[in-house]
Amino acid sequence: MSDIDFRIYLVTSGSGQRTVDVAGEAAAAGAGLVQVRAKGLEARDLLALLIAVAERVDQVHPATRVLVDDRTDVAFAARLAGAPVHGVHLGQEDLSPAVAREMLGPDAVIGFTTGTLRLVQEANRFADVLSYVGAGPYRPTPTKNADRPPLGIEGFPPLVEASKVPVIAIGDVQTADVAELSETGIAGVAMIRQIMNAEDPGEVVRQGLRAWRG
């Protein structure tokens, strides 16, 4: 997984054409990963959205990896259909990362949600099948109720030290946070609202990449 650029990682919101368009603009600007997150969609609609995003991203920046949130089955179906979908991001209540690896194969990108030292240590059991872990929230965020206290800057170095795989910071991360976060040892930051709500999503990504100091 050494060729994955984790630095700026878009997690999408919404399920319409704007989601596809923003994903494409972010990828074209250099976002290394795009995760399609649409919690309310049924499997068939989520699959259609995932394929649409993946095809757009592949057109503008084939090196960007496209994942789907939670649904290993939908990632499998997309890959079976020949779509340029690379993997899945799993939560604590989803299928085991080991099962996802068996389903998606050795080349898939598999992420896993953590956010505390205990959860990182538990995730290390799957270090041979995980590509990265997400850790957050960095600060409180309305997009996901993690039931965990915010980590802040000081919360990441211990998690990075403990983790056997790259760590991605998530939780209302803004471009103004990127420089300081990048010095904690993390591999990248996941951003949602600032990119999805921007008039120029690509410029937000470029600002984040310029700010990265790691």
DSSP annotation string for 21-67: HHHHHHHHHT-SEEEE--TT--HHHHHHHHHHHHHHHHHH-TTSEEE
Amino acid residing at 14: G
What is the average pLDDT across 65-87? 98
Cα-based torsion angle of the residue sequence 186, 187, 193, 197 in order, rounded to the nearest 10 degrees: 140
**Is residue 145 over pLDDT 60?**
no
185-214 confidence digits (pLDDT tens)? 999 999 999 999 999 999 999 999 999 996
The residues pairing with 191 across neighbouring beta strands, listed in sequence order, are: 10
In this prediction, residue 142 has a pLDDT band, given cuts at 50, 70 and 90, of low
169-181 confidence digits (pLDDT tens)? 999 999 999 999 9
What is the average pLDDT across 66-75? 98
Contact criterion met (CB below 8 Å) for 109 and 133? no
Give the pLDDT of residue 27. Answer: 98
What is the average pLDDT across 77-104? 97
Half-sphere exposure of 177 (CA within 13 A, CB side): 23
Given 3-state DSSP classes, what are the helix, strand and coil percentages for the chain, each rounded to the nearest 5? 45, 15, 40
In this prediction, residue 106 has a pLDDT band, given cuts at 50, 70 and 90, of very high
Who has greater pLDDT, 142 or 59?
59
Give the pLDDT of residue 196. Answer: 98
What is the average pLDDT across 92-114? 97
In this prediction, residue 146 has a pLDDT band, given cuts at 50, 70 and 90, of low
**Is residue 122 over pLDDT 70?**
yes
53-63 confidence digits (pLDDT tens)? 999 999 999 99
d(CA 123, CA 94): 13
**Where is 19: in which H helix or E strand?**
helix 17-29
Question: How far are the Cα atoms of 19, 31, 80, 207 from residue 51, in angstroms, in the given order?
Answer: 12, 18, 11, 28
Give the pLDDT of residue 103. Answer: 97
In this prediction, residue 140 has a pLDDT band, given cuts at 50, 70 and 90, of confident
Give the pLDDT of residue 147. Answer: 73
**Is residue 45 over pLDDT 90?**
yes
Measured in degrees and rounded to the nearest 5, phi and psi for residue 65 equal: -90, 140
Give the pLDDT of residue 115. Answer: 94
Q: Strand, coil or helix: what is 169?
A: strand
d(CA 48, CA 187): 30
Give the pLDDT of residue 148. Answer: 81
**Is residue 1 over pLDDT 90?**
no
